[in-house]
Amino acid sequence: MSSDGESTVAVKLFIDKEKKRVLFAESDQDFVDVLFSFLTLPLGTIVRRLGKQSQVGCLDELYKSVENLGEDHFQTKPCKTMLLSPRNAAADHLGRLKVELDDIDQTLFYACKRHMGYFSSVPDVGCPFCGTMDITIRECSEKGTLDEIFAKSRTKFVITDDLQVALSSTALMFSLMDKLGLQEQANIEEVVLQLNSNKMISLLARALLSKQPLTGLYFDVTITPDAFQLPENLLAEQADEAEPMFKAIKMRIIQSKDGTSVLYAEVGHDFVDIFFSLLCIPIGSIIKAFGEWSPNGSIDNLYKSVNEEACVKQECRSLLLSPKLPPFFGCSSNVLHVEELPSGSVSRYNHEVNPKEPIRGGTCRAYVKEGSTNFMVTDDLHISNFSLANSLKAIRAAKIPKEKLVEKELTLDKTQVLKLLRAAMLSRGALSSVLLPK
């Protein structure tokens, strides 16, 4: 615990001060549990906790777009809340961590006093009968009742600078010494850090963008995304799963005639709904869908460490490798095949209300309201209401003469949508990277 009473987790770093690098770290399960919890965090939670400066592809712009778009474009007012402050389906486990990363209280629920049994996990949802939820319920997790959360307890773990986690052993120590070129008499300094919530969030930010997050954290290295070339094939090898609910998406793009850049696209609600819902998807589900997070980050090594089974309880592996969505947090087209938990119960309340449903008895899945309004999407996936003023603004900002622009109509199939979703996490120019020929 820190001097100001804030909860912390301890980690011992082994440091080469001459080369200013962390060689590796050692910790008990408390620190490793928080590391593994990274995989359960929705992308929107990460962007919010990092002050909309995650620097991960287009995610910051997507988040700002939800913030700035008027409520009349969403099915209900709670839809914006769901996207900006997504719930975590693993909240019961996260509530027992020594350091919690989400600043939203996941134990709060809202219920109706007049019509017993109806509740919601999202604020401002109306009872289907009287329109109000006027009781606040706190459903506490069983903190402290179990020794283990994700990691196996009563053992020590070794964590490399790029977040590979393994059980501590003499064989592993010798292997690391050989790999790092260390001698027994090497000048290695040992430092114990007490990491609070903000420090762990900083470590997460580095894990998303860097191969040396522990070194970056200890030496306070400025976080900058490493440059890399987008692969021609944005999708890893994966089975072509049928998606009967998917419907082709039509869009109109304005691009330069020389094919170097897309200025913006004019799209409908279907495109916007899929990309906004990306903010609710956990990191682990992204890695499962695409085979990796990024060629640059270290978060993939955490995923691989879980997959190797030795460090994690068997019953918790699916929570980390295939994180689910809370009830009603899916979208109109589940192209990433992320499973959604069934609606549940809390205390004496057993009828969970769909926050997206504007009328009683419906089964709405979309966040964005279907209608005649079109949206404007820039190359970095900033989404706004389409207007001539916004169109002229984008053209002026690009400083490309009108005669050097061309308009094209496209129809996106499922593969192209998946490529755009992948590019949203790898590039600041998602539209150009996918829609323009090389």
Q: Where are the domains of the chain?
A: 9-435
Residues 46, 54 contacting (CB under 8 angstroms) = yes
Q: What percent of the chain has pLDDT over 90?
A: 65
Residues 112, 134 contacting (CB under 8 angstroms) = yes
Query: Mean pLDDT score of the chain, rounded to an integer?
Result: 89
Closest CA to 83 of 258, 371, 331: 331
- pLDDT of amino acid 49: 97
Q: Average pLDDT of 358-371?
A: 80
- pLDDT of amino acid 344: 87
For the question of whether the overall pTM of this predicted structure is more than 0.85, the answer is yes
- Flag whether pLDDT at 317 surpasses 60: yes
- Flag whether pLDDT at 143 surpasses 50: no
Residues 348, 117 contacting (CB under 8 angstroms) = yes
Distances (CA, A) of 60 to 65, 199, 274, 276: 9, 20, 16, 11
Higher pLDDT, 175 or 12: 12
- Flag whether pLDDT at 61 surpasses 90: yes
- pLDDT of amino acid 145: 43
- pLDDT of amino acid 18: 85
pLDDT digits (tens, 9 = 90+) for 152-174: 877 899 999 999 999 987 777 77
- pLDDT of amino acid 239: 43
In what helix (H) or strand (E) does residue 319 lie, and over which residues does it extend? helix 317-321
Q: Average pLDDT of 47-74?
A: 96
Give the model's confidence band at 432: pLDDT under 50 very low, under 70 low, under 90 confident, else very high: very high
- Flag whether pLDDT at 433 surpasses 70: yes
- Flag whether pLDDT at 14 surpasses 80: yes
- Flag whether pLDDT at 362 surpasses 70: no
